[in-house]
A and B are shown apart, each in its own frame.
Chain A
Amino acid sequence: MNPIDNVTFEVLDEIGVICLDNPPANELVIPGFIPVAIFKEWTDSASLKGLIIKGAGKNFSAGGNLDVIFKTADHPDILQSLMRDGLELLKFIRHLEIPIVAAINRVCFGAGLEIALACHIRVASANALLAFPESNQNLMPGMGGTAMLPGFSGFSQSAKMILGGDMINAADAKELGLVDFIAPKDQAFEYALTLMQKMTHGRPVKVITSIMKALKNSSDLSQDEAMAEETKLFCSLALDEAMRRKTSEA
């Protein structure tokens, strides 16, 4: 099966929408759901101001397809290379310079949750359910889940969630810091789109990417370096805006 058959991309008024489209549960045929090269090609547009990842139909995604994983497990190098591709994609998503929001309705398990955690913001519907159920199948998260989760919910809560393999609801996920906004039942995408429009509408792309860069610096650079960079980025925007005002006066 061609993985690209199970993912669609469209642009809604400067916002790119990536849809995991393998109903009913939007299982991922390959862990990384789409090759990085194609993801880049789709999203490589100077006019794009934000991205949303959602699932087709009722659910976000139930995660990786276990059959595929157990079948390829006989060929360790193939499975490892599939997982590496997945990791590379999630890294690319994390480092995007435009905001990317995961819009989570209902089921969001395993690799689906790993994709969501790699996004910059998570919106979950009130009826969303999140889990790392891998340990129930004698597996574990394999695409960065164990590395990312403690950054959101701390070591002990992460251990409980990954070892226990239990589902948590949206309200508990918000409490734990796994999701940032709760949308009404089944309305995660609509909520995410409104949020994205409020964040990007009317803003020059450079304002958005400068702010995202400065935010990324808050974890990637020392505090002194991050602050110095912030001031530089600000001055560049101020120069642009001063020019823009002069031009509109003339």
Chain B
Amino acid sequence: MTLQWTVEQGIGRLTLHQPPSNTMTMEFFRELQALMQEIALLKPLKAIIISGSGRHFSSGADIDELLVSADHQTMLENYRALVLLEQLTIPVISAVRGVCLGSAFELALFSDFRICAADAVLGLPESTFNLMPGLGGIQRAAALTGKAAAIGIILRGDTFPAEDALRMGLVDAVVPKRNLQMISMAFATALPVNFVKADRVICLHKFLKPLHATI
């Protein structure tokens, strides 16, 4: 399995598991899609937290595999996995430490909330190997940070620290590395059961900011 799934206290824990850097293979996207279909039918969860196994969130797609098999149908299937994730009525939190690049950043951008450890490094580096983000990352980045800043990060394709991502509005909070799991879990627990996406910003102010301040 390229991903692990457990439920703790009503919170689903989805862990990208392909050490050392949790590369997202075609197999991963298939498993993600199957899991998302299953979760939609499960008894209600309070929230889902996505994280990476080990030191990193994920280095993104397996480029060699992608270039061999990136036909439109495969890409649409991969994209569908992210859309299913987004369409869940359960709030989804990405808890990011280490690298979070390319498709992995796109996965995080499809979550409702992004909490980063201070050591997180993010980016959409596709253009540096003559590609572009292809799972909706361009649309999401533009919506969160504005077109001009999005042009800058996507065309340059360089990586940036969590603090820069926070300044650009691409992530919601930067916390000390040792507190990432605790804060993510506490935030997930604090979110209202009737969460709707329109309340995203209110939830950040009401539940994440105080946690951030007290810990």
Set B139, B148, B151, B152: member contacting A217, Cβ < 8 A: B139
Interface pair B156/A120, CB less than 8 Å apart? no
B127 at the interface (CB under 8 A from A): yes
Interface pair B152/A195, CB less than 8 Å apart? yes
Known A218-B138, A237-B131; contact A120-B70, beta-carbon cutoff 8 A = no
Which residues from 54 to 84 on chain B have a C-beta closer than 8 Å to any C-beta of chain A? 66-68, 70-72, 75-76, 79
The closest CB in chain A to the CB of B71 belongs to: A235
Known A99-B155, A218-B147; contact A234-B67, beta-carbon cutoff 8 A = no
B34 at the interface (CB under 8 A from A): no
Interface pair A245/B138, CB less than 8 Å apart? no
Interface pair A234/B133, CB less than 8 Å apart? yes
B135 at the interface (CB under 8 A from A): yes
The closest CB in chain B to the CB of A237 belongs to: B131
CA distance A217 to B140 in the complex (A): 12
Interface pair A207/B148, CB less than 8 Å apart? no
CA distance A245 to B129 in the complex (A): 11
A177 smallest CB distance to B (angstroms): 7
The range of chain B's interface size is: 20 to 34
A185 at the interface (CB under 8 A from B): no
Which residues from 139 to 167 on chain B have a C-beta closer than 8 Å to any C-beta of chain A? 139, 142-143, 146-152, 154-156, 158
A205 smallest CB distance to B (angstroms): 11
Interface pair B67/A215, CB less than 8 Å apart? no
A193 at the interface (CB under 8 A from B): no
Known A199-B155, A203-B155; contact A240-B139, beta-carbon cutoff 8 A = no
Interface pair A211/B154, CB less than 8 Å apart? yes
B62 smallest CB distance to A (angstroms): 13
Set B67, B134, B143, B147: member contacting A230, Cβ < 8 A: B134
Question: A242 — which chain B residues lie within 8 A by C-beta?
Answer: 67-68, 70
Which of A21-29, A141-149, A219-227 contacts the other chain? Answer: A219-227
A234 smallest CB distance to B (angstroms): 3
Interface pair B136/A238, CB less than 8 Å apart? no
Interface pair A199/B152, CB less than 8 Å apart? yes
Known A218-B143, A241-B129; contact A234-B155, beta-carbon cutoff 8 A = no
Interface pair A121/B148, CB less than 8 Å apart? yes
A198 at the interface (CB under 8 A from B): yes
B137 smallest CB distance to A (angstroms): 8
Residues of chain B touching chain A, judged by Cβ–Cβ distance below 8 Å, are: 66-68, 70-72, 75-76, 79, 127, 129-139, 142-143, 146-152, 154-156, 158
Residues of chain A touching chain B, judged by Cβ–Cβ distance below 8 Å, are: 99, 120-122, 177, 180-181, 195, 198-200, 203-204, 207-208, 210-212, 214-215, 217-219, 223, 226-227, 230-235, 237-242, 244-245
A-B pairs with the 8 shortest C-beta distances?
A234-B134, A199-B155, A238-B70, A218-B142, A180-B148, A242-B67, A214-B138, A227-B136
